[in-house]
Amino acid sequence: MQTQNPFFDDLARMAGGALGALSGLRAEIEGLIRQQMERFMAGVDMVPREEFEVVRDMAIKAREENDALAKRLADLEAKLADKSS
């Protein structure tokens, strides 16, 4: 769309170009920040979320099994105590 004044056309083109350049700059900065964060996380020896979830699920299962075995042991001890008396 052209206006009567070429000055405004040039100004609009410059603004559009500047916005495009800023958009590219933003993407580049985000990439650099992401890269630095990944480097930092690797340096502090943190586990990925997926590995944490797997270990957490294993711990929950182990606790449930432990509770079931503790109940079973208590039942067996009660039966043994009844037979002894």
> Cα–Cα distance between 56 and 64 in angstroms, integer?
12
> Cα–Cα distance between 30 and 37 in angstroms, integer?
10
pLDDT at 3: 53
Q: pLDDT digits over 11-68, tens only?
A: 788 878 777 777 788 888 999 999 998 888 778 877 889 999 999 999 999 999 999 9
Return the ∠ at Cα 70 (arms to 65 and 74), rounded to 5°.
150
Contact between 32 and 25 under an 8 Å Cβ cutoff? The reply is: no
